[in-house]
Amino acid sequence: MDKRRIGTTALEVTEISFGGAAIGGLYRACPREAAMETLQTAWDAGLRYFDTAPFYGFGLSERRTGDFLRYKPRDSYVLSTKVGRLFRPVPEDQVPDHSYVDPLPFALDYDYSYDGIMRSVEFSYARLGLNRIDILFVHDIGTYTHGVEKTKLHFRQLIDGGLKALEELKTSGVISAYGLGVNEVQICLDVLREAPLDCILLASRRRVLFRSDRAGARRAFRLSAGDAGHTRACWGDGENR
């Protein structure tokens, strides 16, 4: 399968990737056996870029992705996960409903600050059980998820400290690249005005983006590719991430 380079980094990802939301139980339960079989099918088809997130099943997707990849040669695949949410244990009857069926028993808090991102990465390494995360995406920052007022707070957290954390993680070799994993164009433009990014993942709504904000999408894509030295990564269908 053909590969594409991520910005100015040495990372190369397959043009088709595996999105880990479904194996975290998005919209319907996904037994462990089915998750492992699905991951193996993707591997057998030549996919070597695997994307997950703490949000997917409240840690379940990361655990399953790590369990599968643990016995694969580490340099044979690229792994991305996300930051922006921290989890705390709660009784099972207090687990919030976020479209995941049978998630792990946690509730979430949003945190895009320096400390929040550092803690999130530490927890992700523990869930994955792997010794390297290649790409970190700042997850779901923007008005699509938070509304206007809360987005202002989260944006300031990211600009005032979160981006520093990401750059320190990259400089120290904990990760190789970082970017945004979001559902909208405007937040990409806002962040790119403040700092360069290695990549942008416009999650699963590319067709909708082009219908609703063609000019904005084109601006974001130009800023995140080509002469700027960045790469975009796009899902095709939100129901099948």
- Has 56 been annotated as catalytic? yes
51 counts as catalytic: yes
- Of residues 49, 51, 110, 111, which has the active-site annotation? 51
- C-alpha 18/C-alpha 49 separation (Å) is 6
How many CB atoms within 10 Å of residue 155? 20
What would the two tokens of residue 45 be?
A: 């088809």
Q: HSE of 142 in the Cβ direction (CA atoms, 13 Å)?
A: 18
* 82 is an active site residue: yes
The one catalytic residue among 3, 27, 49, 56: 56
Please spell the DSSP secondary structure of the chain, one letter per residue.
Answer: --EEE-TTSS-EEESS-EE-SGGGTBSS---HHHHHHHHHHHHHTT--EEE--TTTTTTHHHHHHHHHHTTS-GGG-EEEEEESEEEEE--GGG---SSBSS--SEEEEE--SHHHHHHHHHHHHHHHT-S---EEEEES-SHHHHHHHHHHHHHHHIIIIIHHHHHHHHHTTS-SEEEEEES-SHHHHHHHTTS--SEEEE-S-HHHHHHH-HHHHHHHHHHTSGGG--EEEE-S-GGG-
Active-site pick, 44, 49, 71, 82? 82
Indicate which residues carry an active-site annotation: 51, 56, 82
